[in-house]
Structure 1
Amino acid sequence: MQFRNKLTISMLSALFAISCSQKETQYEDPLLTNRDTTVNPGDDFFHYANGGWFKKHPIPSTESSNGIFRTIGDTINAQIKNICEKSAENKDAAKGSNEQKIGDFYASGMDTLAIEKAGLKPLAATLSKIEAITDVSTLMNTIGYLHTIGAGPAFSFYVGQDDKISSKNALFFGQGGLGLGNRDYYFNTDAEAVKIRTEYVKHLEAMFQLMGDNAAKAKTAATTIMKLETDLAKNSRKLEALRDPIKNYNKMTLAQFKSSTPSIAWENVLPQLGITKADTVIVGQPEFYKGLDKIVSSYSIADWKTYLKWDLVNTYASYLNNAIEKQNFAFYSTVLNGVKEQKPRWKRIVEQTDGSLGELIGQVYVTDYLPKGSKEKLLEIGNNIRDVYADHIKKLDWMSEETKKKALFKLSKIVMKVGYPDKWKDMSSVTINRNAYCANVMAVNKWSYDYMIKKYGNPVDRTEWGMYPQTYNAYYNPSNNEICVPACNILVPGFEGRMPDDAILYGIIGGSTFGHEITHGFDDQGSQYDDKGNLKDWWTAEDKAKFTQKTKAIVAQFNKFEPLKGKFVNGDATQGENIADLGGVVMGFEAFKKTAQYKNKEKISNFTPEQRYFLAYGYAWMVHAKDEAISRQIMSDVHSPAQFRINGPLMNIPEFYKAFNIKPGDKMYLPEKERVVIW
């Protein structure tokens, strides 16, 4: 294999071991073999780029989707499984050591005999606490306690950075308490929503019978919960309405909060939440709490006990006996996401061990599985993307010099957390036992909650990570003006043991990752935060108006996309991700243009550099999902379905039109005046 530029050679030596023999292994090029050449790239680039892979890899019965995320996830899960099994085999590991905790947690999840024998006993003390409620005061205090162990009844609560004072941690109260998650499930009148409500009530009845109620009592309980949750949903905002950081920021004194909810003694609830002293709170949706104040009194204590028991068991259903776990799967996985069969138990427990103890597993992962130099190479790509972003901002024809200066300053201050953290969270206080799976999950939930609560009253730790290095994902945090790209983002399926060419590196890691996350700092939400992460308007009025018109154009564009017959993408709810996708693919391409591969017009698999770049971007979102999962995504997710994360942005990019000869009459063709250009 010939490597024709210094960048590729340096990356190869830093990341991968490869044979120097003249007789090299012949590899398939996934960009070539993934395609479905029966599809016109100008009609549906998503299926042109990935359809061949979809035909060879149907969605497993244990999954709601399949694609690049599942492929990489399987690789990481196999590595984590190895960590878990090795740890579990060492029964002599020092008590309190990372190895002991990982091994015993995994072993407890695999011990189905102990789990079956325990039944609901792990929740017995908490269920008794719920049963002891006598009035509104003890009701609210118990709700507060349930939040500390990972449940989330009645409302949402957390400690986080004050949006307008990013150096300070604040108390946030928001809407919540819905078993179906999104408020629209309770009110939409289409056949699918009606079916889900019907199935939800059946699920509630089944769960209460498994909790020990007879059929009649279980039916009454299900009716009560559906009615109570529907009342909570009536006071909840729609998904798109939650995107406005100004309207969802309502700071008030504790006295003002109490005055708006006279039935709730927050001065007593807060200590149950772990807060002993508070002066102000930030209420996301004040109307929700006014409604909650009425609901607290309009339902009997018996009704509330029923709801709280349900919320508790629902929270921990996956960690209880087989009958409860399977019933939970039947509704939340099969009905809502179309998954027909549970994953093998080892996969479920590996994923849960990683979810609970990922901070500990990450330390082993970085040492044992991460290619050397990954952190440095990811940072190199990220900085290259930031450089071309600055060039783009300087050349914008719609933005004034005054706003450009501030945008460039904010861009320069974006912190890049790449690879893995320099310091790990201290989980030494967590006690894990080999024969207590549900109790172990609850112990970690309690530790996580306490870790969050301790932030209140203390300075913000801007070095903290919100993801593990083995998590194939990334994020932008507006309050810190930072992006986080975990180490495993260096993985590209099909290039194990060898270096991807720059088109792939910049299409996937550059465009869909770094470019995407940086653009979040300048999307409809992120653009409202300054360089220090404060919710503060740094735009001129004229520039803000121009930007808003551009965001309206992308909303209108995505509102027309129809993933399922009669179901359209919610352009308002998804606009931030759509803006980030568009910005990401543009910036990734600009950075790629600076590489030798592009400059030398190097063809690989007979693809031009431009074609390889856009095919690589398509590879980044190679995901096909079941109809049920797509429907749920449209309803409750701020991300567009994968098909339109590819086709949507590319429809706006002239270089894509040129690379694949997109012309009038092709379904993806847009007249130039209709193409959206933002960053």
Structure 2
Amino acid sequence: MKFNTIALLFSGVIMLTTSCKKENDFDPNASDALATNRDTLVNPSDDFFMYANGGWFKQNPIPDSERSNGIFRTIQDTINNQVKQICEKSAAANADKGSNKQKIGDFYASGMDTIAINKAGLSPLKGELAKIDAITDVPSLLSAMAHLHTIGASPAFSTYVGQDDKISTKYAVFFSQGGLGLGNRDYYFNTDKETVNIRNEYVKHLQVMSRFLGNSEAVSSQNASVIMRLETDLAKASRKLEALRDPIKNYNKMAVADLNKITTNIAWDKTLPLMGINKADSVIVGQPEFYKALNTMIKSYSIADWKTYLKWDLQNTFASYLGSDIEKQNFKFYSTVLSGVATQKPRWKRVVEQTDGSLGELIGQVYVDEYLPKGTKEKLLEIGNNIRDVYAEHIKKLDWMSEPTKKKALSKLAKIVMKVGFPDKWKDMSSVNITKNSYCANVMAVNKWSHNDMVSKYGKPVDRTEWGMFPQTYNAYYNPSNNEICVPACNILVPGFEGRMPDDAVLYGIIGGSTFGHEITHGFDDQGSQYDENGNLNNWWTAEDLKKFQAKTKLIVAQFNKYEALPTKFVNGDATQGENIADLGGVVMGYEAFKKTNQYKTNQKIAKLSPDQRYFLAYGYAWMVNIKKESLAQQMMTDVHAPAKFRINGPLSNIPEFYKTFNIKEGSKMRLPENERVVIW
């Protein structure tokens, strides 16, 4: 995926359309973001990331309310303001019950009604807490766990319905590790000072949250100890982030009866229907050892212990939608302690983002009609197809791949489906009941709908037209099971080019290289390369070609393992290799496509920058993200994306044309020895 850390409002964002000014119609006196973003006191040979973006960072420090600041936050704030207008207009519309506007308006209004939220306290969870209190034995424990999964909580494990990796025409039931309040197993075991402090603060957080449930200090202390011990045992059985990247090792298909045999304390044939999954004959278990451990824990922990844990998981899931005391405590730990964010965002922004997250399917329809100019799809497709064309040229010329594998690679490339802009059909959310009465209840209602929508797919034909993102989501993805890329409409946003079409260097550096080129390359990264043209987990490589490819991926792992993002903390090259391969492929393909444009062929300078300089600066602009050290540490532990600095410096260090453009000499930090350079696609 393209996504990195989202972080302040940058005045001016242009939506590109085919009706914008001509390619060469530039105002030489206009301010140019690529030129002004730079810090010319930094030598590009030492740190191109800071050279390209340091000037902007100096003028735009990270706000106390944000994890980071940069292009993602800039664009997200623009989208937030647009969505806010949609929410406020909907709230004021007095729309008919059940209409999209009524649901959007009432959801937003319920989130903004802090008086009602504070007055309600924990009452929105009263019924769910009662269900947990009613647990008396293992069957009722499993029943409660199953129910909590249907409303958006995720105690003890993770499950979902999705395409079978080996039979992409069918939906399958997946089970994977989960249940950790700290999210990642390493938080429970790493011994560095920062992580030890996080564990200590987590225990304190658990104690405070338990007191909000009406428990005494003594009971709350005991509860925190139970939760920490239980989660640590779950973490012991969990795989590391990098181990989750192997689709073969994390694909263990078995009959439900066979899963029951290795988890004798958990009757999955009875539990699955409680989650709305009926008549499942088989499941795909990502990490069988995790479920063996969970099976033991079901009995080794008392029913009372499990009830304590389930109450915590429920409370933690909905903490952001409850009264201010719980919400602020939740923010204190998960945002301040874990991410270094000192103050909360304005209330309206938090509620806008949640409304968009919950009802984005409805908001997207308004966004497309009222905020998206005509021609967006066409412009995105134009760039995407140009990237695909140069990709095919590159594959044909590869000196390390044999002709049989090239033929299959080209077939897969040709069959990649490009979903751009917005879907042709929208999901039906008519069954969701939204009122102004309870913010938490509204979130829970959407969670229920989302769960039911997901599990209802089981046993039905796969809908390959379905989108996994909203048109107003600034992100993109590659789905290997569909062999498709999805680039939502708002990816057309480019900050800093008010009222005019950015030149092709900018278009191909940001939209071409870091978006289309990046996502297409995911079809040929360490994971995507294991799926065939039809989206099935199936080896299409000759043995010799696969060996050569894996040798090249090992080089990129080694390259990124050397990057020290924080003192003594290095990038995890194994966990991030898929994104690093995609970044390298993206910037190379974007550059090759850009070279076919008139701007490049005529060597047209803009803001005294050559086409080559503008392209590589634009690629640097695509990952212009300044991040707080706490958030960076969290990202390195939990995210498969490398820090933004190395998403720029890493790929560019492999490209000779970059060396020539910025006079990167032998021995410079940005220039790798020839035998260490990574060339894949």
TM-score, normalised to structure 2, is 0.97
1:68-467 correspondence to structure 2 within 5 Å: 68-91=71-94, 93-467=95-469
Matching residue's letter, 1:14: T
1:508-523 correspondence to structure 2 within 5 Å: 508-523=510-525
Contact 2:161 2:457 in 1 (8 A): yes
- Counterpart of 2:636? 634
- Counterpart of 2:548? 546
Q: 1:130-171, CA deviations, whole angstroms, 9 ceiling, x for partnerless residues?
A: 000011111011101100000000000000000000000000
Confirm whether residue 65 of structure 1 aligns to residue 68 of structure 2: yes
Matching residue's letter, 1:496: E
Alignment partner of 1:165: what SS?
Answer: coil
Distance 1:106 1:120 in 2: 20
Distance 1:491 1:234 in 2: 43
* Cα displacement (A) at 1:29: 0.2
Alignment partner of 1:282: what SS?
Answer: strand
Contact 1:15 1:374 in 2 (8 A): no
Q: 1:78-104, CA deviations, whole angstroms, 9 ceiling, x for partnerless residues?
A: 00000000111122x011000000000
Alignment partner of 1:499: what SS?
Answer: coil
Contact 2:159 2:174 in 1 (8 A): yes
Distance 2:415 2:610 in 1: 35
Alignment partner of 2:231: what SS?
Answer: helix
Task: Determine what percentage of the aligned residue pairs are the same residue.
Answer: 75
Contact 1:366 1:469 in 2 (8 A): yes
Alignment partner of 2:170: what SS?
Answer: strand
- Counterpart of 1:41? 44
Instruction: Sort the Cα spacing of 1:624 and 1:13 in 2 relative to 1 into closer, same or farther, 3 A.
Output: closer
* Cα displacement (A) at 1:320: 0.2
Contact 2:205 2:329 in 1 (8 A): yes
Distance 2:26 2:575 in 1: 52
* Cα displacement (A) at 1:212: 1.1
Distance 1:523 1:211 in 2: 47
Distance 2:283 2:164 in 1: 10
Alignment partner of 1:417: what SS?
Answer: strand
Which of 569, 572, 586 lines up with 2:571 in the alignment?
Answer: 569
- Counterpart of 1:5? none
Q: How many corresponding residue pairs?
A: 666
Q: 1:554-612, CA deviations, whole angstroms, 9 ceiling, x for partnerless residues?
A: 00000000010100000000000000000000000000000000000111111111010
Confirm whether residue 670 of structure 1 aligns to residue 668 of structure 2: no
Alignment partner of 1:613: what SS?
Answer: helix
Distance 1:421 1:12 in 2: 19
Which of 518, 532, 536 lines up with 1:530 in the alignment?
Answer: 532
Instruction: Sort the Cα spacing of 1:593 and 1:326 in 2 relative to 1 into closer, same or farther, 3 A.
Output: same
Distance 1:365 1:15 in 2: 19
- Counterpart of 1:616? 618
Q: 1:599-648, CA deviations, whole angstroms, 9 ceiling, x for partnerless residues?
A: 00111111111010000000000000000010001101000000000000
Q: 1:397-428, CA deviations, whole angstroms, 9 ceiling, x for partnerless residues?
A: 00000000000000000000000000000000
Distance 2:34 2:662 in 1: 14
Gaps of 5+ in 2: 1-14
Alignment partner of 2:516: what SS?
Answer: helix
* Cα displacement (A) at 1:23: 12
Gaps of 5+ in 1: 1-10
Contact 2:17 2:374 in 1 (8 A): no
Which of 605, 613, 630 lines up with 1:603 in the alignment?
Answer: 605
Matching residue's letter, 1:137: P
Confirm whether residue 494 of structure 1 aligns to residue 496 of structure 2: yes
Matching residue's letter, 1:159: V
Matching residue's letter, 1:560: K
- Counterpart of 1:14? 18
Contact 2:16 2:492 in 1 (8 A): no
Q: 1:532-570, CA deviations, whole angstroms, 9 ceiling, x for partnerless residues?
A: 000000000000000000000000000000010100000
- Structure 1 runs of 4+ aligned residues shifted over 3 Å read 15-18, 22-26
Instruction: Sort the Cα spacing of 1:98 and 1:12 in 2 relative to 1 into closer, same or farther, 3 A.
Output: closer
Q: 1:361-413, CA deviations, whole angstroms, 9 ceiling, x for partnerless residues?
A: 00000111112101110011000000000000000000000000000000000
Matching residue's letter, 1:56: Q
* Cα displacement (A) at 1:664: 1.5
Distance 1:295 1:315 in 2: 22
* Cα displacement (A) at 1:276: 2.0
Distance 1:368 1:387 in 2: 33
Alignment partner of 1:563: what SS?
Answer: strand
Distance 1:110 1:633 in 2: 30
Contact 1:15 1:371 in 2 (8 A): no
Matching residue's letter, 1:32: A
* Cα displacement (A) at 1:666: 1.4
- Counterpart of 1:28? 31
* Cα displacement (A) at 1:16: 3.6
Distance 1:164 1:589 in 2: 35
